[in-house]
Amino acid sequence: QITLKESGPALVKHTQTLTLTCTFSGFSLNTDGEGVGWIRQPPGKALEWLALVYWNDDKRYTPSLKSRLTITKDTSKNQVVLTVTNMDSEDTATYYCAAYYGSSGYRRVADYWGQGTLVTVSS
Amino acid sequence: EIVLTQSPATLSASPGERATLFCRASQSINSNLAWYQHRPGQPPRLLLSAASKRATGTPARFSGSGSGTEFTLTITSLQSEDFAVYYCQQYHYWPPEDTFGQGTKLDMK
């Protein structure tokens, strides 16, 4: 059974750096085709894909936020970490981590999702 | 950036009815489209990928069609648990520039 859980601060201040951790189980992120990504949803708005890291440490970012995002994996801890620098009110959102799993190669759809964590940016 | 436009924004239907949701891409994405269901208080759930391939556990009443720029998600015989927000996602380019539509809310009439 694949599960994911996000953890991190619920509140960050304007210009601070946000660090979120995704702890997963049921897969290793060491096998061809496996990936973990981050997707966010501002209140009342649509989903936005942010970043992905694959089993081979290939990392991908959404172009509009690439300069502010860093994704890393620690397979010994079954964790993936996302950092977002220079947080602004527009970054207030529920942040989800998701597993890209179920086929070889670079899976591009999120098969399993965590429950999400709401992050609010204060001024 | 590929923009996905979903219609209608809200669809009202009754249990047992058929619902058809649309997703239009601003340029051709072949069949590189997924559909997700998002119920309140729950994370999104993958329904379909490659425009028409049901994910594990997706009931047969959900079907997808289309290619290029026009896509459809059809739900036959709506069940109470189907009333949710539905999002389409394109994954056409490599390196990824994945985007989601703004969603269609399916609510109970």
Whether B96 and A60 have beta carbons less than 8 Å apart is answered as yes
Among candidates A69, A76, A71, which has minimal Cα distance to A58?
A: A71
Structure tokens of A79?
A: 């964790």
Can you give the pLDDT at residue B95? 87
- CB contacts, 8 Å: A101 with chain B: none
Whether B106 and B47 have beta carbons less than 8 Å apart is answered as no
Can you give the pLDDT at residue A14? 95
Top residue of A40, A47, A115 to mutate, by most chain B CBs within 10 Å, is A47
CA atoms within 13 A on the CB side of B74: 10
Q: Does A96 touch chain B (CB under 8 A)?
A: yes
What would you report as the CA-atom Rg of chain B, rounded to the nearest whole angstrom?
13
Per residue in A21-80, pLDDT (tens digit) is 999 999 999 989 899 999 999 999 999 999 999 999 999 999 999 999 999 999 999 999
Q: Would you tell me which residues 47-76 of chain A have a C-beta closer than 8 angstroms to some C-beta of chain B?
A: 47-49, 52, 60, 62-64
Can you give the pLDDT at residue A103? 78
Interior CA angle at B87 toward B9 and A98, to 5°?
150
- As a whole number of angstroms, the distance between CA B22 and CA B35 comes to 11
Find the chain B residues whose C-beta atoms sit closer than 8 A to any C-beta of A: 1, 32, 34, 36, 38, 42-46, 49, 55-56, 87, 89, 91, 94-103
Q: State mean pLDDT over B54-65.
A: 96
Residue at token pair 């529920």: A94
For residue A66, report the phi and psi dihedrals to the nearest 5 degrees.
-55, -35
